[in-house]
Structure 1
Amino acid sequence: MSYTIPNLFLDAFGLKVNQVYRPELSTGNPDKPKGLFSGMEIAENINESFDTSSRGTAILFPIDFSEGNYKKYNDKGELINVNMGDFRLPIASVVSFRRDKIMSQTKINGGRGSVKEVYGFDDWQVTINGFLIPDNSQKQGFTTPLKQEKELVKWDNLASSIEVFGELFTLRRITNLAIKGITFEPMRGKPNIRTFTINALSDESIELNIKSGI
């Protein structure tokens, strides 16, 4: 059974994902791709490749859930601590971001438009779409789709926000995610591939200073 990652994204999510050609390791500079490499985006600097797959292809924007002590509910409904190890999300993952402003709009009598008062920014709405595929380069040993799905379910079961690392998240100053929901779906004609979608919100610590009159 053969497939390409761009075709999988197009079939499953309607997303067009361009392929990337990785520069030569010896020089750090890209060759001029021809033939099978035509139409690919060229990474001008090998340092742009933060990670590589088992086939040596570049993973430009990997997403990692960071190890740490988190909260979850046990079978008795009690909140307990649980230690989680690092988890690099499946390499065939793409992330989208959306954020609204918190504003008040006042209509103008006899005029056009409105008066807008901006009070702040809402949370980032984060959607991660991807595939669970065999991956021998998975750092934590989750090399099969089943192992990856089980690990994602463990993270979804947490009752606390998750520390996340990735350049696209750092760019938006997102350090933690609160998972709202996760979906797993099979792909027709591809029994060893499953799609997943994570819907999450950005989360950040809020410090409250309480002044005591005592």
Structure 2
Amino acid sequence: MDARYYVSKALQKLFGYNLPIYFPYRLNKQLPAEIIFPDVTLKEEEEILKLSYLGTPIVAPTTFKAGEYRKYKANGELTSISLPDFQLPLVTLIEFRRAKNIIKTDMLGANGTVKEIYGMDDWVISFRGYAMDEPNKKAQDQIENLLKFEELADSIEVDGILFTSKNIHRLAIESIELGQLEAEPGTIPFTITASSDEALELVLTEKTLSE
């Protein structure tokens, strides 16, 4: 069975990119001992956070962290479940958008407005990518693990340079969309919309309870 990765077709269908690239190696054959990229300047090994199974650096990997999370049962009861780390599929594009909360007051007899009470809204985070069959994990398995986090009634701890640089440590998944590519059963496109969240702890004292 020919299970080569026609990444160019997937990128074109999913993101509109037209790149003449693909992985020429069959899944049922071992990869060459060494893959040489003559036009690519590689960083020192200690500078690389993670490597793909092809031995190439993963740029800005993102992980949903392991932990105890809350989830609703079928009967509506809230329960806790334990989930392991889940690294998002390698081909995932992440976009961030944030608005400011500003109150504007019109000025009588003058142009413009008076702006006051500046505040920052949540980050709106968009994930666009696709899960792809790899030698040690199937695309469908990756999607099933992703859905375990999507089903939570809780915010998710997230780790990755794209998030920590914006002081984002938790997010809440608001929606997810799954698709399919024609003649590509081992490739599953997905789109996620999420928003940043912060873990807040409320402390109830005896005085608060008495009031």
Q: Same fold (TM over 0.5)?
A: yes
Find 2:166's aligned residue among 160, 168, 172.
172
Rounded Cα–Cα distance in structure 2 between residues aligned with 1:181 and 1:170: 22
**What is the SS of the residue equivalent to 2:11?**
helix
Q: Tell me: CA distance 1:210–1:71, structure 2 relative to 1, closer, same or farther (3 Å).
A: closer
In the TM superposition, 1:30-45 aligns within 5 A as 37=39, 42=41, 44-45=43-44
In the TM superposition, 1:21-170 aligns within 5 A as 37=39, 42=41, 44-136=43-135, 143-170=137-164
What's the Cα RMSD here? 2.7
Alpha-carbon shift at residue 108 of structure 1 (Å): 2.4
Find 2:13's aligned residue among 1, 11, 14.
11
Moved over 4 A (4+): 42-48, 207-211
Rounded Cα–Cα distance in structure 2 between residues aligned with 1:198 and 1:79: 24
Alpha-carbon shift at residue 187 of structure 1 (Å): 1.2
Alpha-carbon shift at residue 10 of structure 1 (Å): 4.2
String of CA shifts for 1:160-198, please: whole Å, max 9, x gaps. 001000011000111111000111100123221110111
Contact 1:125/1:202 (<8 A) preserved: yes
Q: Aligned AA for 1:87?
A: F
Unpaired stretches in structure 2, ≥5 consecutive residues: 22-35
Contact 2:168/2:197 (<8 A) preserved: yes
Q: TM-score w.r.t. structure 1 length?
A: 0.78
Identify the residue that residue 25 of structure 1 maps to in structure 2: none
Q: Aligned AA for 2:181?
A: M
Q: TM-score w.r.t. structure 2 length?
A: 0.79
Rounded Cα–Cα distance in structure 1 between residues aligned with 2:185 and 2:15: 17
Q: Tell me: CA distance 1:162–1:113, structure 2 relative to 1, closer, same or farther (3 Å).
A: same
Alpha-carbon shift at residue 48 of structure 1 (Å): 4.3
Identify the residue that residue 182 of structure 1 maps to in structure 2: 176
> Identical aligned pairs, as a percentage?
34
Rounded Cα–Cα distance in structure 1 between residues aligned with 2:110 and 2:17: 42
String of CA shifts for 1:97-148, please: whole Å, max 9, x gaps. 0111111112223333221114311111011111110124xxxx6x101101
